[in-house]
Amino acid sequence: MKERIAKILQEYKKRRIIDEKLIPSAVLVPLFYDKGSLHILFTKRSSEVNFHKGQVCFPGGSPEPHDLNLLQTALREAEEEIGLKAKDVEILGELDDNLTLTSGYIISPFVALVSHPYPFKLDRKEVEEIFSVPLLALMGEANFRQDYYPNEDKSGPGYAYEYEGHIIWGATARILKQFIELVRCEVKN
């Protein structure tokens, strides 16, 4: 499966968003195998962060002056937030840029494979918890909801995934939906 995902992402032409009014950012979409099943790792933001308090997301953030590119930003942020070291990450490819409409970010997602189990170390100021969801649980319709808007902002597609009490929505759900659709197309062929 790893090779198929890497091939899909290498052949996919990423859509970039360029808008100087928006803030560039990057996230890592960590995948790992557990008992032969592919899982996706998520974080739940703490109540101490400036934006998106308590929301489910992927590790990531905004570039710092010493970051050479957005991939380096995603890797640095993953290490700061959950203790995932860049040397332990295998980048498989990129997904389309995504917008956070309420906070004004352009998110560049990088899909990565990490080993499992991994000795994660959470920065409790940024991350309340980490959890994973089996990819197969997300590929079916049972955990997917459309027209989900937790507040009055209905400016983007309202997708959500729900799994064991966690609700994944907003830009994270849009990134996840694109990944699932790319993988699903390959699985059907």
pLDDT of residue 151: 59
Q: Is 87 among the domain residues?
A: yes
Amino acid at 22: L
pLDDT tens-digit profile of 156-168?
A: 567 899 999 999 9
Residue percentage of the chain with pLDDT more than 70? 89
Mean pLDDT across the stretch 143-169? Answer: 76
Cβ–Cβ under 8 Å, residues 160 and 169 = yes
Cβ–Cβ under 8 Å, residues 34 and 135 = no
Q: Which of 157, 58, 159 lies closest to 109, judged by CA?
A: 58
pLDDT tens-digit profile of 97-109?
A: 998 877 889 999 9
Query: Model pTM greater than 0.85?
Result: yes
The token pair that represents 67 in the structure block: 């970051």
Q: Is 162 among the domain residues?
A: no
Range of the domain at 109: 2-137+171-188
pLDDT at 179 over 90: yes
Cβ–Cβ under 8 Å, residues 187 and 7 = no
The token pair that represents 158 in the structure block: 């309202």
Domain count, the chain: 1
The token pair that represents 118 in the structure block: 């991994």
Cβ–Cβ under 8 Å, residues 57 and 32 = no
Q: Which of 29, 7, 74, 32 lies closest to 179, judged by CA?
A: 29
Q: How many residues does the chain have?
A: 189
Amino acid at 90: E
Give the CATH number of the domain where residue 70 resides.
3.90.79.10
Q: Is 75 among the domain residues?
A: yes
Mean pLDDT across the chain? 90
Q: Is 151 among the domain residues?
A: no
Which DSSP string do the residues of 75-109 spell out, in sequence order? HHHHHHHH---GGGEEEEEE---EEETTTTEEEEE
Sorting pLDDT into bands at 50, 70 and 90, what band is 48?
A: confident
Q: Is 100 among the domain residues?
A: yes
pLDDT of residue 56: 93
